[in-house]
Structures are given as C-alpha cells and as structure tokens.
Structure 1
Amino acid sequence: MVRGGFRMQRTNTSRLSAAQIHTVVTLGFCGLVSAADNWFVSPALPAIAQTLAVAPTAAMVILTAYMLPYGALQPVCGAIGDAVGRLRLLRVIVLGLCAGTLLCAVAPSLAVLVLARVVTGCFAAGIISVSQAFVGDAVGPECRAGAVGILMGITFTGQGLSAGLGGILTDLVGWRAAFAAFGALAFAAWLGLSTLREPALAPGAAAFGQAESPEAAEVPSSAPGSAAPGVPDAPSSAASAAPASSQPLQPVAPAANPVVAFFRNALDIFFGPRRAVFVLALATGILFLGTYGFMGTFLSEVCGLSSTAAGLLMMFYGVFCLVGGSLSGALGARRGLPGVIAIGEVSGIAAAVLLAVAAATSSWLPALGAAACLGLGYILVQPTLVTLSMEADPERVGLCTGLIGFGVFAGGGVGSMLGGTVLAAGGYLGLWLVVAALLLVQLIVSKRVL
C-alpha cells in the first residue's frame, strides 16, 4: 500500500535471526559509546574549566568543536561507506573515536582539548549513519524499521544515561579519568566489530531496491535467441543464476570526480521525491533536540534541582529511548511507518505540555514525565524517518541515512539558536508552548505528506 509516495510498510522484529540481533546489538553499543562520549561533556564543563584555568563560558567551545564535524560529516561518511564498504569504514572510525577520546584525557590545555574534540567528532560522525545503513542491509525491508528502532534505542540510551552518569563520574574520579573510561569503552566497541561480517543482501532486500526502479522491472529475462540481431547470447553462469539474496553487497563505483558526484547525489536525494522525509528530519532536530538542550538549565533555574539531580532526571530520556526503540517494530507492524511517526509526535507534544506545567508550577514532577515522553517521541520519529529515507536511493543508503543525521543535528543547532531567542522574549513557559504548537503543526503536516 502506498500513501503520499511512501510505502505503508509494516514491520516485524520477531523475524530477526540470532545473527541479525547480534549485529544490531553490536552496532548499537558502538552508537551508545559515541552518543555518551558526546553528551557526558556538558555536566563535566565546570570541572574542565577549573582544571584548565579558563572561564566556563570559554570551555563551552569544546561542545561546538565536537558537534560541528559530527553533524556536517554524517552524509560524507555515509557516502564513503557506500563506496568502500560499511564494516571497513566502521572499524576505522570507531578506532579513531577511541584514539580521539584518549587524547582528550591527556590534553594539557584548552587548545589541545578543542583539537582533540574536533578529531573525535570527525571520527564519530559516521558511526550512527553507517550503522543504520549496515543494519538495513542485514535485515531486509520487512524488519528494517524495527531493527533500526532497536539500534537507535540502544544508541540514545547512551545520550540519556551520560547526562546523569557524566556528572557523577566526573565528581568521583575526575574528567580526565571519565574520558579515559569512555576511550576504553570505544576500544571494546571496536573489538566487537571483529565479530561482524559485511552482510549479504537479506531476503527481500533486492526487491526493495528494484521496487524503486520500474525500468529494471520491465527488462525481460534473457533467453537463447532473444538478443538483438548480430549480438550473441550472454553466456549462462552459476553466478548469474544465483538468487539475489545470496549476492554480497557491491560497493558503489566511484565517479570520475567524487566531490562533484557527492554533492550532486546529496542534492538529488535531499530535494528529490522523498524530500518530505528530510525536511521532517530537520524539523525533528529543531524541536526534539532543541527541547532536550534546554531541559538541563530549565531544571536547575526553574525547578531548583542540582546538576546531579537534573542529570538523573534526564536519564529517563535515555531509558524511554530504549523502551521506544524496542516498541517501534511492533507499532510499525500494526500502524505502518507514518503511524509510528504520528505517535512519536504526539508524545513530543505531551512532553512540551508537561514542561509548560512544570514552568507554571516550578515543580520537577511534570518534568520527569516530560523527559520520558521526549525520549519516547524522539526514538519513534527519528529512526522511522531513517527507514523511509532508505527508499530515496537504495544504491546509496549510507548517503540517505547520513542526510537524515545531518538534518537532525543541524536542526538541533538551529533549535538551540531559535530557542534562545524565544526564551529571552517569553521565558520558559513561552518556549514550551511554542514547541508544543510547532510539534502540532509537524504532526498535521507529516500526516498529509507521508
């Protein structure tokens, strides 16, 4: 069934084999480490500033140093994975994440720490987008949405847990030891990749790619004597007779000018027939990640929580990311992918309303529910958009998922900027009400275009 140009795809994670589950969990752990490595730094900033003898406001540059390459390079890493092989690239970038994080642990000055965070962000950029494409290759279209949901649930559990554990770990052992610990986790993730193999096309995956290419479907099967006059019949071979599901993935052949080809392909995909998916990813980053970015200071300034208490409350975001990722497959099987996105957007609206109640009452209890709803909503929307994006160009799935990552994280940066303007004008109550209204608009639009 097709609606708005998109398949009303049903999903079923119960069909995942043990090997596929192992793949999802292994890559999910890689994503968890990369997300935790990013988000634990925020509660550690005061300690970092004190050790390096700089102002806390000056130390905030290390957040930007990581996030800029992390967001900008996701499509690039996705395209490289399409060309050279996803597992090969993952082994390089996870090891680079390990090295960059360990370099952060021994940085003697703010300048060196900023450089180390830039290096770490460059390597970490591709982990999520390439892992999403890898999982999509491994499980096939029917299980893709549920498997990607589990992958992202595990990944963003790291984001939520690190907000609380980062401050606690920094208080107990110091920020340098915390960086060293995350470096060790990255090394463990790299070792885990040695248990994986580049996947063959899962059953149904070839049909998924061919469904977007009607011309390919119209080509008749060759038979002796069917060639044009003067053209000899193609020789038969066991390889050509083998089913598509047994064929290993072949890297996309590089163009003569790869830089020009990359930008041309990226623009064709982003503004192509599936452009609604990528625009919704940008909106999701603005509203969901933008909201998440303001919650820590809101809990401290309005609800009166300490940094540790606020971090522990924010851990509910990570817990419900994991819950939502586990539920997304079953929800997709019952309601289709657009239905999963709608449920996530409703959950986001509930989070914004609860935050407005918390702002009006100065109570942290509604914010507890808001953190849970925000995590649940985000993990239902973002991975489902990733799954839909894979239909944009089945031959460049890594680039498609990378563009989703770019849209989400670029949107998060835009959301922080716009949110600050709204906050200055209307306070936290005004900010949360604006977020709720815009999420309602996104819900209405997504139901029309998906």
Structure 2
Amino acid sequence: MEPGTAAASTAAGPRLDFRLLYVGAFIAYGDRFAIAPILVSVAGDLGESLAAVTVMATLYFLLYGLLQPVYGIVSDRVGRVRVMRFALCGMFLASAASALAPNLSTLIVAKAAAAGFVAAVLPTSLVYVGDMVPLQHRQHVIANVLAAGSVGTVLATVGAGMAARYSTWRLVFLVPAVISLLLAVALGRLPESLSRTAGTGALTPVRQVFSHPWAVFLVVLALAEGAFMLGFLTFLAPALEARGHSAAVAGAVTATYGVAVFAGLQGVKRLVRQASLPPSALIAGGGTLLVVAYLVAAANQQVANILLASVLIGVGYALLHSTLQTWATDVAPEARGTAISFFVTAVFTGAALGTAAVRGLADAGHYQQLFLVAAALTVPVTVVAAVARTRYPPGGGAGTP
C-alpha cells in the first residue's frame, strides 16, 4: 500500500487516494490551534480587552463540539463527500469574512460560523475512511489523517504567532479560506459513500447508534478520555508561566506536543503493520505514557519537565486516541457518521468538563495537585478501555461490554 492510498473497494472497485482527506485534517486542526496565538494581537488591533476577544475562542470550541451530531446525521443521509464539500465552501465564506471583519462583533460571529462549518471536516473524513477501508487496514489510514492534523497544529501555532508579530493576524483567517475553497473543488474527485440509513428518518441513525451497547460505552469512555487527554493538556503552558517563564517559551515548549503526535502516529502505523500489536496493547501503552507524563509534570513545572510531559502526551495521544477513533468507526456500521459524531462531541465535552473541574487548582497555582489528578483519572480509564477492547467481538458492535 502506497502512502496516501488504500486498496479499498467501492462498488466500482477503485484504488482510493486519501491525500485530500489529509489536507482537510490539516485545515481542521490548524484552524483550531491558530486561535490562541493571535488573541492578544486581535485585542490590540481592534481596541478590545483580551477577555472580550476570548469569547471568539469560547464560541468556536462550543460550536465545534455541539454540531458534530448534526453533521453525523446529515452525512448518513446525503453522503460524506457532499457534506465535506458543503462545509468547506462555508468555511471559505466564513474565514474570508473573519479576515475582513471591521470590528470584534463581526469577527466573533464570522469565526463562530467558521467553527460550525469546519466541525464537519475531520469527523466526516474519518467516517469516509470507515466506509471505504476494511477494519484491519483502517487504523493505518486514520493515523495518516491524524498525522496531517498534527502537522497543521504545529504549523498553525508557529505561523499564527509569526503572522501576528511580523504581518497581520488577518492572514491567519485568509490562508485557510483559500485552501478550503480549493479543497472543496478537489474533493469532487472522490467517490461518494452512503450509509445504510440513507433515505430513512432523521432520528433513525441516532436510535441505531444508541441501540448498540458498545457505542454507548465508547461515548461514555470518550467523555473521560477528553478530560485527561485534552482538558489537562491546556494547563501545561500556564504551569510554565506560573514559574516565571515567558509566554513565548511556554508556547515553544508545549508546541512539541504536535511534533510528538506526528512522530507517534508514524510509530502506530508501523506497530499495527509490522508488529501486529492488538488494539488493547496500543490503548494500554498510550495510557501508560500519559500517566508518566502527568507524574513528570507534577514533580516539577520547569522547562525540562513540561517539555518531556508534552512529548509523552503527544505520543500517548497517538497510541490511545487513534485506536479509540478507529474503534468508534466500527461500533455502529449502519450509522457510522452519527456514531463518530457523538464520539467527537463526547471528547470535546469531556475536555471542557475536565478544564472546568480543575481550574480552581490552576487559579491557585496548585499545578502539582492538578497533574496528579490527571494521572489518577487516566489510570482507571486506561484499564477499562484496554480490557473492554479485548472483549470487543471481531464481527462488530453486537453484544454487551
């Protein structure tokens, strides 16, 4: 199998090229991670407070998570490629409006709209892979999709900061606008895929997903994973700043997370293809790295510790999260888009809940206790996930966890 391709069969049996999906993941991750580095510049340029500008980020993440089920249901009914192309056209318009926004109110509305559109791209890409690639080959392609997203994370974080410092923050919105439009056109080359729920009632796929005990289990598991995977990750940079390091140093150190995700995902592909490691081993390995990472961060919040923790979390994410996402593509195959959408919504909801639950510790500067809580949460969730994956039936989502 060549990079970017999969010998998956559709009705016509073509050899599929997934590189366009990688570009979509690059845009989706990049658009999300480019927000934080420009908040201060936006506030200064528009004459607003930083607190007011952060509303843009809050609404972005909220809409990104909440709209997942909507796109999942729609893609199950009208097709994955159609949904992605529609979303990218909307992304082009909303991002262009963001780049041209004359005031903060317009920017907040335009960026919220961009979030509402880009929310469709990555989950629908994963569903498309689930439709087109057999389960035994699926994690390789999904790892490539997530690796492209990690590249987007790193380049967006660095590029947004440089644009804000040396040019204008408006470039951060203009670049994805152009790429989104080009990608919307290019995606017309991919064959469409439809689930078996196409043409049924709007709520049929929701009922089908929640009729599978394994799907319900995985959504609940994703809530906890989102808390310790993304929720606590938020506090690595503030922990450094609380110890007297500059925001620039904190950003550079924690950006190694994205690099580690990319490297880890390349390792995942080799482990799956060459070592034939079972999914439960990848889950256990990823969870173990996360526990070690949080213990390292709890021990000391200086550069060396936070750097090592960032790298370990990135590799742990690659092992654990890519395995869970691959699993999520299989638990309700007749309503795959809806299942993935609820999984992603649960991850982002868990991240929000995790961040909110320990923000008091961060406000008080108690980062040691905060990271110990993260480690303590990661242990039981990892054990439950690994054991459950060994019990998952080879034939799919039938049965009980």
Are 1:443 and 2:398 matched, yes or no? no
Equivalent position amino acid for 2:241 in 1: S
Task: Tell which deviates more after alignment, 123-132 or 174-183.
Answer: 174-183
State the TM-score, normalized to the length of structure 2: 0.88
| CA distance 1:100–1:345, shift in 2 (3 Å) | same
Give the drift of 1:155: 1.3
Partners of 1:33 and 1:114 in 2: CA distance: 19
Contact 1:133 1:401 in 2 (8 A): yes
**Deviation sequence 1:326-366 (CA, Å, 0-9, x none):** 2223333522112111111112112212212332xxx2022
Summarize the alignment of residues 336-355 of structure 1 with structure 2, pairs less than 5 Å apart: 336-355=278-297
| CA distance 1:72–1:137, shift in 2 (3 Å) | same
Q: Could you tell me which of 287, 290, 302 is aligned with 2:231? A: 290
Give the drift of 1:305: 3.0
Task: Tell which deviates more after alignment, 382-391 or 182-191.
Answer: 182-191
Are 1:67 and 2:9 matched, yes or no? no
State the TM-score, normalized to the length of structure 1: 0.79
| CA distance 1:172–1:187, shift in 2 (3 Å) | farther
SS of 2:342's partner is: helix
Summarize the alignment of residues 95-114 of structure 1 with structure 2, pairs less than 5 Å apart: 95-114=89-108
Summarize the alignment of residues 404-423 of structure 1 with structure 2, pairs less than 5 Å apart: 404-423=343-362
| CA distance 1:394–1:417, shift in 2 (3 Å) | same
Summarize the alignment of residues 132-281 of structure 1 with structure 2, pairs less than 5 Å apart: 132-198=126-192, 249=194, 252-256=197-201, 258=202, 260-261=203-204, 263-269=206-212, 272-281=213-222
Contact 1:349 1:439 in 2 (8 A): yes
Q: Could you tell me which of 17, 27, 39 is aligned with 1:22? A: 17
Give the drift of 1:14: 11
Are 1:54 and 2:48 matched, yes or no? yes
Structure 2: runs of 5 or more not aligned: 9-13, 390-401
Equivalent position amino acid for 1:264 in 2: R
Partners of 1:191 and 1:375 in 2: CA distance: 33
Match of 1:230 in 2: none
Partners of 2:218 and 2:52 in 1: CA distance: 37
Q: Could you tell me which of 331, 337, 342 is aligned with 1:398? A: 337
Partners of 1:21 and 1:163 in 2: CA distance: 31
SS of 2:300's partner is: helix
Question: Size of the alignment, in residue pairs?
Answer: 382
| CA distance 1:167–1:15, shift in 2 (3 Å) | closer
Give the drift of 1:69: 1.3
Match of 1:357 in 2: 299
Contact 2:147 2:261 in 1 (8 A): yes
Are 1:323 and 2:318 matched, yes or no? no
Q: Could you tell me which of 310, 313, 327 is aligned with 2:250? A: 310
Partners of 2:195 and 2:365 in 1: CA distance: 54
Partners of 1:112 and 1:104 in 2: CA distance: 8
| CA distance 1:13–1:344, shift in 2 (3 Å) | farther
Equivalent position amino acid for 2:30 in 1: A
Equivalent position amino acid for 1:106 in 2: L
| CA distance 1:425–1:302, shift in 2 (3 Å) | closer
SS of 2:307's partner is: helix
Partners of 1:72 and 1:414 in 2: CA distance: 14
Give the drift of 1:368: 1.4
Partners of 1:424 and 1:321 in 2: CA distance: 28
Partners of 2:374 and 2:364 in 1: CA distance: 14
Match of 2:111 in 1: 117
Partners of 1:315 and 1:428 in 2: CA distance: 19
Partners of 2:342 and 2:322 in 1: CA distance: 13
**Deviation sequence 1:134-189 (CA, Å, 0-9, x none):** 11222211101221122112113322432233212211111112211222232333
Partners of 2:158 and 2:114 in 1: CA distance: 22
Structure 1: runs of 5 or more not aligned: 1-11, 200-248
Give the drift of 1:425: 5.7
SS of 1:197's partner is: coil
Partners of 2:89 and 2:183 in 1: CA distance: 9
User: Could you tell me the percent identity over the aligned residues?
Assistant: 26
Partners of 1:75 and 1:140 in 2: CA distance: 24
Partners of 2:354 and 2:159 in 1: CA distance: 25
Give the drift of 1:396: 0.9
| CA distance 1:303–1:284, shift in 2 (3 Å) | farther
| CA distance 1:173–1:15, shift in 2 (3 Å) | closer
Partners of 2:214 and 2:129 in 1: CA distance: 24
Equivalent position amino acid for 1:157 in 2: V
Contact 1:94 1:190 in 2 (8 A): yes
